[in-house]
Each structure stands twice: as structure tokens, then as C-alpha cells.
Amino acid sequence: MGLAPYGEPKYVDLILDNLLDLKEDGTFRLNMKYFNYAAGLTMTNSKFHKLFGGPPRKPETKLGQKEMDLARSIQDVTEIVMKKIASTVRKETGLENLCMAGGVALNCVANGKIIEDKTFRNIFIQPAAGDAGGALGASLSCWYEYYDQKRTPAKDLTGSIQGSYLGPSYSEEEILSHLQSMGAKYEKLSPSSMDERLASILAEGNVVGYFQGRMEFGPRALGARSIIGDPRNTKMQSVMNLKIKYRESFRPFAPAIISEKASEFFELDTPSPYMLIVAPVSERHRIPMTQEQEKLFGIDKLNVPRSALPAITHVDYSARIQTVHKETNPKFYNLLEAFEKKTGCPVLVNTSFNVRGEPIVCTPEDAYRCFMRTEMDYLVLENILLNKKDQKQWEKDESWKEEFELD
């Protein structure tokens, strides 16, 4: 998804003619002549490689226009299929509400297109839509069918899952015990003082590891295990990608915004509490491209600011939005309010608290280790604040970058 806007959809017809037998109702059959995943260790085979003009790019080598065009083409085909399926479901059931799950439901760009079509009045996307969601489904099945509990519809579009903060939380005593064992230097602040202090720290261009409350259930960090920054900062995207996340510079970051302010900054009229919807940045916040910039191709588009919030605006003027609701995450909501009071901007960059290939941090130990191994400036553990400059030198351990498989 992130690479697709840099490419052109030149392989769409090739995919539809050779790889996919797509019907009008959205059902399809894959041509297994080109795939290996059912019986081998790779997804595709030599016939697939030949069809697209050569072998796949080797890991960690430079991305070329071919990869960008292929990403765009696959994304376009995915959207075609999903929109056909959604249309068929609407016609055959007559229902106005749609729930989506499964790994493809994490394709937030396609989700945004389905919402844009207004095929359904309301759309709910399960926040742990991938394989992990099966655990939730099994639990609910047992709860309703074995224990015969009543199903009560949620009153609003954020859903009864209440923000998806279903993981563990940690007491101040547990946090302090770990910090003291590591010889860390820290200060304790009241909640209101923390918000004011953090707003200033973020406005100065610092990157903050933010750890509070129960951990999120699902692949998206939603303000409980997050890395946050100032979206107005023109260098924030590259700093976070290259010095914190250790991933490709083209990857966009998501905005977390006070829910009531979302329509002021984005063309979005529905809640997006789980960061699973992409929508355009509002016209009034965009920066028009010059004639010279319009001629740029591929990855050369990366460094052209697209809006007043360059760190969260992708090259196609889109953003993967998280609407933050006071009812489900009051602490993160209050921080956004403090940042707006300080800067006039109710938006923060929000990305998962991890490095590339590593799971999102869960415990205070995880958070402290990730903070010390990267170039993050500050760490927040509930109401405890750590400044990187105050910490003793972390023993360099470059091998940690190879502990996890790269994505």
C-alpha cells in the first residue's frame, strides 16, 4: 500500500488476463500455474517471474520503478475485487451495515475506497482483522452460542470493543522497579503536567516513545504503545523511518487526531478509531505542486511537501487516519488537546512502538530497551518521563537488528 502511489498501474491488465479469473460478483479463481505457496516455500514461481520480466528484487536492494508499478497494479486490482464483493453483498442482502475482517481488511486504502463509494451506510472493520482475530472470534462464539448470551449492538460506530485496548497494563511500581534495576534516570509528573511538558517536547521536534494503559489488540498502535512526533515537521518522516524504525524512507506515517476535529483536516465523515481507513487530506491543508514537481516520477516524489502536515501526508495527498476518542483513550486524547493548545494542531504522528521486523513493545522492559537502542529522544512510561540525554551509554549491540525477520 505504501509503495503503490509511487508507481503506475501498468500491470493491471496483465494480472487480470493471466493471474486472476475475476467474475462480476467479485468471486475469483487464481491461476495456480504462477504460484507456489500451496506446495512450496515461496509465494510465486519462475513462471510468475517471467511474466513480469525477471526475478524478484533481492532483499535490501534498491527499489526500482518496476517494483513501484507492480505495487500500484496489485493495489488497484485488490480494490477492484473488494469493491465488487462489497457491491454484491449489498445487492444480495439489502443490508446497510457492513462488518469486515480477514487480513485483506487491513488494506486501509481499499477500505477507504469502499467507504467513499457509499455502498453501505456504516462500515465496521475488526481491529485485529488478521489471523490474530480468530482468537477473538472463537471467544465470542463460545460466549454467545455455548453460554447463550444476548447480542447487544453497539451504540456508535467505534464499536463495543471499546478501542481495542485489551492487552496487559503495568503499575507504577512495576515500571519503577525495572528502571531502578537499569540505573535509569527519570522524573515523575502529574498527568496534567506530563501533557503540558510533552506538548512542548513534541513541538520542539523530538521523537517520543509513548507507553500507557493496556496494550492494543491488533497490528496497529493506537496511543498505548506508540512512537509519536510533530506532523508539521518536514524532517519527521525521514527521521522516524531511518533513525527510529530502521525501514525504507518511502513508508508513510499515520495521523492520530482528536475525533471531533477529523473532518477539518481530512475528507472523512466516519470514525476511524483503529487506523484502518485511508482518506484524502482536505484541500485547504494541501500544498499545490509546481509544474516542475508535477514532472517528478517514482521515488523522486518523496521529498515534496504535500500539506501543512507533511509527516503524515502521503505522495497522493492521502493519510491513514486514527480518530482518538475521549471515551476509549482519555490519556492520549488529553495529550492531543494539550498539543493543540500549544501549537494549534490537534494531530500527532503515531506509529507503532517497535523497530522494523520486531513485535510492538508490550512490557516496560521492552519499551526501555527499544528506547535505548534507537535514536528516540524521550520515553514516557505512564507518568514517568525519561530524557535520552540523561541516560548512561547503552552498550552497543548491533546484532539485535538481526534478531527478527525483516518485513
Position 388 scores a pLDDT of 97
How many angstroms separate the most distant Cα atoms in the chain?
65
Q: Where are the domains of the chain?
A: 1-95, 164-402
pLDDT level of residue 402 (50, 70, 90 thresholds): low
Give which of 326, 108, 105, 109 is closest to 223, Cα–Cα.
326
Full 3-state SS string of 271-302: CCCCCCEEEEECHHHECCCCHHHHCCCHHHHC
CA–CA distance from 114 to each of 79, 83, 124, 129 (Å)?
8, 6, 12, 16
DSSP 53-96: TSPPPPTTSPP-HHHHHHHHHHHHHHHHHHHHHHHHHHHHH--S
Mean pLDDT of 48-69: 92
Question: How confident is the model over 84-100, as a mean pLDDT?
Answer: 97
Q: Strands (DSSP E) along 159-303, which ranges? A: 187-188, 208-211, 225-229, 254-258, 277-280
Per the prediction, the chain carries an average pLDDT of 93
How much is the pTM?
0.93
Percent above pLDDT 70 for the chain: 95
The class of domain 164-402 in CATH terms is: alpha beta
Q: How confident is the model at residue 265 (pLDDT cuts 50, 70, 90)?
A: very high
Residue type, 118: K
Residue 156's pLDDT band (cuts 50, 70, 90): low
Taking alpha carbons only, the member of 108, 154, 129, 155 closest to residue 268 is 108
160-169, 238-247, 320-329, 375-384: the lowest-pLDDT one:
238-247
pLDDT at 406 > cutoff 70: no
